[in-house]
Amino acid sequence: MPRIDDQVYTFTFYDEVGEKYEASFVVNEYHSLMELLFDKYAEDWGDCRGRAWCGTCHIEILDGIVEEAMDADERNTLSKLTNTVKTSRLACQIPVNSKLNNLVFKILKDN
C-alpha cells in the first residue's frame, strides 16, 4: 500500500503556444513548480534558477487557487512584466504540494 505522501497528484497546463499538457507529481518531488516543469516539460525556463528575479517562469492561474502568499521579490518582478494578469504568479515561488492537485494554468511568454 503506498504511503500517503507517495500519492500521485495531477495538474494541467498550457504552454506558450496553447498546447495542453497533463502533468503528474508527488509531494516534495521538486522544490518548486518551476523546477518540476523545467525538468519534465519546459525548455529555456527559469533563467534565475528560482530566485524570483527573471520572470521567465511567469504563469497565469486559470482554475484553482495557489494559497502561498506572494513575497516582495515576486511582486516586484511581476510588476516589471508587461503581460501580467490578475492571477499571475512566478512558478518558482510555488511549492510542489498536494494543493496543486487539479490546478490549471498557462505559461506566459513576456512580450
Closer by beta carbon to ligand FES, 27 or else 52: 52
By CB under 6 A, is residue 88 in contact with ligand FES? no
- Cα separation, 47 vs 43, in Å, equals 10
Instruction: Tell me: does residue 90 bind ligand FES (CB under 6 A).
Output: yes
Considering only 9-17, 19-27, 41-49, 98-106, which stretch makes contact with ligand FES by CB under 6 A?
41-49
- The C-alpha atoms of residue 54 and residue 65 are separated, in whole angstroms, by 23
Q: For residues 7 and 79, which CB has a smaller minimum distance to ligand FES in the complex? A: 79
User: Cα separation of 111 and 108, whole Å?
Assistant: 9
